[in-house]
Each structure stands twice: as C-alpha cells, then as structure tokens.
Amino acid sequence: MSYKLVIAEKPSVAQSIAKVIGADKREDGYLEGNGYIVSWCVGHLVELASPESYDEKYEKWRYDDLPILPSQWNYQIVAATRKQFSILKKLMEREDVTGLVEATDAGREGELIFRLVYNQAKCKKPFERLWISSMEDQAISDGFSNLRNGKVYDDLYQAALCRERADWIVGMNATRLFSTLYGQTLNVGRVMTPTLAMIVQREAEIEGFKPEPIYRLSISCGGITALSDRFENKQDAEKILNRLKEEKTAQVTKIDPADKQEKAPQLYSLTALQRDANRHLGFTAQQTLDYTQSLYEKKLVTYPRTDSRFLTEDMAGMIPNLAQKMAHKFGFTKNVPVHAEQVINNSKVSDHHAIIPTVNVADAEFGELPSGEQKVLSLITARLLASLGDAAVRNEVDVEFTCADTVFRAKTKNIREKGWREIQDWIIGSKADSTDYEEENEDKRGNAEMLACIAAMTNGRSYPLQNPKMEEGKTTPKKHFTEDSLLSAMERAGADEMPDEAERKGIGTSATRAATIEKLVRIGFVERKGNKKTKYLMPTHKGVALITVMPEQIQSPSMTAEWEQKLLDVEKGNFQDTEFMSEIEDMITDLVKTYKVLEDAEVLMHPAMEEIGICPCCGRHVIERQKGYSCENRGCNFVLWKQNRFFEALGKKMTKQTAIKLLADGKVALKGCKSKKTGNTYDTTVVMTVDENQRAVFELNFEKGEAKHGKGKSKKN
C-alpha cells in the first residue's frame, strides 16, 4: 500500500486534518490511516546557521571581517526540535510514501517552514499544496479535493527566502558593525529598526513641540452657541470682541441641513482587527494575533494572517446563512440586512480573504472560551454583520452667523438611522449612543435641543446677540503612539512615495508586525507606559541612542516599505530574487565602507546612572544597571540582582523601591508573601547583611519571633 505524507505546521492542525481524511492510528510523531500519514513541524525546524558556520573567525565580532555575505547559505536543524525533524526525514524516506502534501499555513512563512524541512531532508518526491483559509472540516475536505502542484508556489518560496536572508544580512552585519564601533551590543533589524525610528521621531516631535496660543470668540444667538475661526493674534481677537459687545444682533447667513450616509465598515484584515482590539480592549497586537490564531485552530474563525478586507465571489452563497446564524447566536432578534455585494471584491483578495467567523460559532459553547478569545470573536462577528448592514444616516446641520464682519459657526450631528451601528453595538456591548461624534460647538444641552433651535430660525434674519466672549487656548502636540496608531503608521509607511498601483504599502506584514513590536519591547528599545487599557509605546534611552547613530538607509521606513513591495513582486513573479538580494548586499557593503562614528557618542551611549543609595561595603554610590543595583566601584562585589532567588521564593521581586529601602535601613517590610509549601500568605521583614565576600545575605524576621516557614539565608542572591 502506498501513502501520501501530509506535513502540517502544528500538532493541533495535523490532528484536525487527520480526523477529516481518516488517519486515525496514532504513532510516535505522526498519525496514519486511509492511505495518509499526517505529521507536523513545530514552528521552524530548520533555520539559517550563524556566521561562525562559514568561518571560525566570525566567532569574534570584528569590524575588519564585515560585511559577511554568504555565497552559499548554510542551514541547521533547530536543536530543541531535532527529534521531530528526524521523524519527518524518516517518513519522507519510507518506500511506501510516494508523495507529500504541504499543509503548513497558507502563506509566506508556512511555505518557508515546509520547504526548508523538505530540502534539508534531501527529499525529491513530488509534493502538492493544500491551500485553505479555514480549519472547518468541509474546508479541509474541499482543499484535499483541490490540491495544487507544489511548484505553483515556487515564487512564494523565493520571496520567503529573500525575506529570511535579507533579514539575516541586515541583522548580522548591522548589529556587528554598530556594536563594534560603539562598544556595546546594538541590535539592528531590517523592519525592527525603522519601526523604532518612527517611535523615536514621534517622541522627538512631542518633546520639541512649543505650544502656541490661539484665541477664539464665541457668541450665543437664538439658543445656539457658535464659534469663530482661530485668531493667532490676541489683539485682533480683542478688537472684534469689543465690537461684538456693542452689537445687538447677529444675522443668520447660512443654514445647511443635510443627510449624510455613513457606509458600513469593511471586514477585518489582521492589522485592522489588532488596531480595534487595542483601541477598544487594550490588547497588544501579539495578544490579538494569539487569540485569533487559537480561534482559527478551534475552527471558529478563518485564517488570521491576511491583508485583505474582502471576500471572494464564490463565497456569496454562504453569507446569508452565516449572518443569520451569527445574529441568532448573539441574541439579536431584529431583521438582519445582508448586502453581500458590500463585502465581495475578488480583485482585493490575494492569498486569503478577510477574517470572518465560521458557521461553527453557532454551536460553540461561548462561555467555555477564554475571556480574550470571547472578546476577539465578538469583534470579528460584529464586524461581519456590520459590514453587511444598511448605511447609517447622519443628520447634520451647519449654521452660520455674521456679526462685526466675523463669521461664527455651529454644527450639530445626530444619527437619524442607526443602520449597521445597531447590530455592532448590540454584539460588542458598546456604550456609544447616536451622538458618538465630537461636537464642534460648546452647546452642552444636547443635539435635540440645538436642532429645535435651528429649526426655528430663518436664513437672512437677525437674532439677539448674547454673551460674546474670548476663549484662550494652546496648540497641542501629536499624541504618543499606541499599538493602534503605530500599526496604522507601519501599514501606511512609505505610501506617499509609492505608486498608487502598489499592492502593499508599509513596513512588515500583517503576520509580522506584532512580533516586531514585541521584540522592540523585549530587548529594551521600547517600553509600554500608561493605564491598563491605554498603553503608549515610548522609546527608552537605549532606543533613542540607537536611532541617533543609525544612518538613513537603515532606519528609513520608506526604504523598508519599498523592500516589502519588492518582496511582494518576487512573490508574484514580477521581480527577480537575485536582484532583490543584490540590492540588499550592495546597501550593507556601502554602509560598512562609508559609515563614520558620531562624535560625542560616548555620552549618548553611556548616560549617567541613577544613584539609589550608599554601598554597605565601601560607602560609594549604588546605581541602577540593566540587571541589578550595584556599586559604582568596579572593585566592589556588592549587587542586588533584579532577578533575586530569595525574593522570588517569597513571591516578591527586587524592585527599585525595595532596593532603596534595604540600602537605607538594612531591612524592608513585605506584605502578602507566599509560602511555596503551604500556599499560605504572610507578612514579614527581610533583613539584609553582607558577608566577607561583599555579598548580600538575607533572612526573615517576624514580629513575634516565630519563623512561619523558617529563616532563610542567601549565600548569593
């Protein structure tokens, strides 16, 4: 009997596929049955080798060895998953395996994961491609009925190789270049560094912003408060104000009522979903991706890593049934409009359509899902139904008064027909009402009363003028980036410099932007600040220092966006992969040859350390460093590590405040410590002394002298 070997990206996906195609016999690292063997990768099993694999001299970072540009690329098997690679290799070599099915995620990275394993195993057997946008049983079944020749995706594989190798060339060379020149590790990335540059630039604009005074005049007329345009000069505003105080009436010179339609929103791409989840729920981009990926693997939503916001024509027939089931699931009893034509556009769907819920949601136990998944699924479902809905109708009325040769304006907006907004608000529990718009006037009595006042007015007629006054304000700077606004900036980066027909404008892809942001935070270039729901992405001193010394070609969002477009062109067969790689290599070679170290960079790279107390060993200052609070005297061994085993055993951390207290008093009171043995909590005092080796020693001191879980010492913390 002959078999087809199906290789998925994850064990959970492999199990779903195996169930549909009848491979129900479990073996070590795979499932077998019905003419199929189904196995899996565990993420990337094969990765690019480090520079020292090409030459031992690269073990040390030296400027003279740059640039490192491999002519033949070396790959290595990831040590942690070597066993699974061996299983796949043996399965490929089985004589009864006559062909393979590539069932990794249907995208650039999924293609790379499979091909690297296939090539590393030196497999020559033919393979077909499973390309699906949903993990529903029917979608899997249909996908196996329509397998495509694997060679169809050769260009996709070349684009994936270009992305991987370009990232390696830029990362390895630029990181070594700047680290050797500036004497400390400075991580540089092809997408990561331009993203950091946008954050640093935004903060520079905010810090350098100088507020300027602005002045506006307001009047009350016929029960309506209206505002003038801005005055930059206070004297000019005061002159008009004095004239207003002498006037008795103001003339209505314009009444412009209009009904404006607010079209239904588009479906979600991953970036659009991440932005909304950050704005409404406070989720990070990575959290949203993780929740959506889990929902996908549970067959509750379609493939998440998509740039598209539309569906394809062949999906039109299933939309009404899906919409009705989703509305019923969420308890919406009114009639649900279904304008399927609003969400269908074949020309705007490439690899995958927009993210939508699957029909499986109708039978799912919603309450059994984790809270985060519930919220993301609600957003996706609400967006589907809203996108199919009627337009909302907004009643807007603009009114203008003229007095003292000055125009005063008032505007009111009111939702007359909720349309798509009604079902969206129902599902996601929005507290927004029909007046969810910024008012451009100061009338606090509500739109209904203002509309009534306007309705009583006649154009051209004069009305008594009341309460003229001047309001003084200041211009405001741009806001700090949230993940919502940063994702938007990443998506739009370089758009002004790129042709209108360019398919992808921006840096990174929907699949990689979240990981880029997380890496910036993880390696200490960016930190999240703010409250629980709204967190801002702020550059650290380290991040600002890196961008300050970075040349334009490395930190330019526009150049990186151009590279992303060329990668897409490689994927479409419209640009040669060799030409793309040649451009990357030329850029790095030129950078190594021409870059000059910035003067006074030492001050920038090594800022003054914050002093938090006096060293108990030598009397010098203790300063905060990256991993702990240590004596400024390099010859002194005293340090309080931030990752401190003694404190971690108590369920506590060595915070800055704790370190300050220990240095000042030799002890610190702790509440709510937790015993690992019993799970009980207790309050205690940690007393610090130092031993003969200048190392901190800690012990617990209870108020009544009873050691509830004994005294503890730390030979070294």
Please give the average per-residue pLDDT across 620-648, as a whole number: 88
Structure tokens at 366: 């919603």
Pick from 107, 67, 118: nearest CA to 586: 67
The pLDDT, as a whole number, for residue 415 is 85
Rounded-to-integer distance, Cα 111 and Cα 130, Å: 11
Q: Does pLDDT of 241 surpass 70?
A: yes
Percentage of the residues of the chain whose pLDDT score is greater than 70: 93
- Multiple choice CATH, 163-207+482-594, 1.10.580.10, 3.20.19.10, 3.40.640.10, 1.10.460.10: 1.10.460.10
Rounded-to-integer distance, Cα 265 and Cα 447, Å: 25
The mean pLDDT of the chain is: 89
Parts of the chain belonging to CATH 1.10.460.10: 163-207+482-594
Return the ∠ at Cα 209 (arms to 203 and 212), rounded to 5°. Answer: 155
| Residue 442 or residue 29, greater confidence | 29
Q: Does pLDDT of 431 surpass 70?
A: no
Contact of 423 with 485, CB cutoff 8 Å: no
Please give the average per-residue pLDDT across 561-572, as a whole number: 92
Contact of 150 with 119, CB cutoff 8 Å: no
Identify the active-site residue in 303, 463, 536, 629.
303
- 274: Cα within 13 Å, side-chain hemisphere: 32
Rounded-to-integer distance, Cα 410 and Cα 227, Å: 7
Displacement of CA 337 from its chain's centroid (Å): 33
The pLDDT, as a whole number, for residue 439 is 33
SS3 656: helix
Please give the average per-residue pLDDT across 647-656, as a whole number: 89
Tens-place pLDDT, residues 521-550: 998 899 999 877 789 999 998 899 999 999
Rounded-to-integer distance, Cα 368 and Cα 371, Å: 9
Q: Please, which residues bridge with residue 400 across strands?
A: 254, 409
The pLDDT, as a whole number, for residue 716 is 38
Q: Please, which residues bridge with residue 64 across strands?
A: none
SS3 content of the chain, % helix, strand, coil (to 5): 40, 20, 35
463 part of the active site: no
Quickly list H helices, 339-419. 371-387
Q: Does pLDDT of 435 surpass 70?
A: no
Displacement of CA 198 from its chain's centroid (Å): 14
Parts of the chain belonging to CATH 1.10.290.10: 270-387
For residue 122, CA distances in Å to 100, 116, 118, 549 come to 13, 10, 6, 44
For residue 248, CA distances in Å to 219, 240, 408 come to 11, 14, 15
Please give the average per-residue pLDDT across 433-447, as a whole number: 38
The pLDDT, as a whole number, for residue 353 is 95
- Does the domain at 3-146 match CATH 3.40.50.140? Answer given as yes
Contact of 307 with 510, CB cutoff 8 Å: yes
Tens-place pLDDT, residues 41-89: 988 999 999 999 999 999 999 999 999 999 999 999 999 999 999 999 9
| Residue 496 or residue 590, greater confidence | 590
Parts of the chain belonging to CATH 3.40.50.140: 3-146
Please give the average per-residue pLDDT across 615-638, as a whole number: 88
Weakest mean pLDDT among 291-295, 439-443, 521-525, 550-554: 439-443
Pick from 461, 437, 472: nearest CA to 221: 461
Tell me the CATH architecture of domain 270-387.
Orthogonal Bundle (1.10)
| Residue 495 or residue 413, greater confidence | 413
Pick from 363, 382, 366: nearest CA to 374: 366
| Residue 161 backbone dihedrals phi, psi, to 5 degrees | -65, -45
Structure tokens at 35: 């003419």
Parts of the chain belonging to CATH 2.70.20.10: 213-263+392-474
Per DSSP bridges, beta strands 667-674 and 681-690 are antiparallel
Pick from 713, 283, 308, 301: nearest CA to 504: 308
Rounded-to-integer distance, Cα 652 and Cα 655, Å: 9
The pLDDT, as a whole number, for residue 223 is 86
Pick from 511, 536, 515: nearest CA to 526: 536
- 213-263+392-474: CATH topology is Topoisomerase I; domain 3 (2.70.20)
Place 602 in a pLDDT band, splitting at 50, 70 and 90: low
- Please list, in sequence order, all residues whose beta carbon lies within 8 angstroms of the beta carbon of residue 107, skipping any fewer than 6 positions away: 303, 305, 351, 352, 511
Tens-place pLDDT, residues 354-369: 999 999 999 999 999 9
Q: Does pLDDT of 418 surpass 70?
A: yes
Structure tokens at 510: 């929907």
Rounded-to-integer distance, Cα 303 and Cα 407, Å: 53
